[in-house]
């Protein structure tokens, strides 16, 4: 990723990622960061598998959603916040071992809506899932009861 970006936004992305309890719980690892594009890794472990031995779709969905959120974070103003409005995932093949990498790319960044495409590959570089998601900027006043700073 060679996308030039504001160094303050880069620092914010790294700092915020390190502070997300759910990302830590899942074991997500921040990869490459560029303007509108972020990669996040997830190593397969027993706790992420469903009863048939493959990685649970919810773990892959969380990987996708987190990569998307951070791709948007690289584009919004430092005081703006966003939230997911929809997420469509196509699971293409099961994952049982190794590392998955989700790369989220912004397809369109409007004033309020962001559309992203996300591809997830296994360590053999085979696509295991693909997704499209939309994020919307939210008014900070609507977050009065939120824990966000």
Whether 149 maps to a domain, the answer reads: no
Nearest residue to 37 (alpha-carbon basis) of 12, 13, 1: 1
* pTM of the predicted protein model: 0.90
Residue 2 lies in a domain: no
H helices of the chain, in order, are: 7-18, 21-26, 57-73
Would residue 121 count as lying in a domain?
Answer: yes
Asked if the structure places residue 90 within a domain, the reply is: yes
Residues 42-76: pLDDT tens digits?
999 999 999 999 999 999 999 999 999 999 999 99
In a domain, 77, yes or no: yes
Number of domains in the chain: 1
What is the spatial distance between Cα 131 and Cα 64, in angstroms, rounded to a whole number? Answer: 8
Does residue 148 belong to any structural domain of this protein?
A: no
The pLDDT of residue 139 = 76
Q: What is the pLDDT of residues 83-94, one digit of tens each?
A: 999 999 999 999
Name the CA radius of gyration of the chain, rounded. Answer: 15
Is residue 1, in this structure, part of any structural domain at all? Answer: no
CATH number at residue 60: 3.10.129.10
Q: Which domain holds residue 81?
A: 7-143
Residue 61: helix, strand or coil by DSSP? helix
């Amino acid at each position: 990723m060679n996308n030039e970006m504001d160094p303050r936004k880069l620092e914010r992305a790294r700092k915020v990622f390190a502070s997300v309890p759910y990302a830590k719980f899942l074991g997500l690892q921040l990869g490459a960061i560029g303007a509108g594009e972020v990669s996040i890794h997830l190593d397969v472990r027993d706790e992420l598998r469903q009863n048939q031995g493959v990685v649970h779709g919810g773990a892959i969905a969380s990987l996708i959603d987190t990569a998307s959120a951070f791709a948007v974070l690289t584009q919004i103003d430092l005081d703006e916040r966003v939230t997911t409005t929809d997420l469509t995932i196509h699971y293409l093949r099961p994952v049982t071992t190794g590392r998955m990498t989700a790369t989220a790319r912004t397809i369109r960044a409007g004033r309020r809506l962001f559309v992203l495409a996300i591809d997830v590959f296994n360590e053999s570089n085979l696509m295991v899932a693909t997704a499209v998601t939309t994020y919307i900027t939210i008014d900070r006043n609507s977050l009065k009861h939120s824990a966000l700073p």
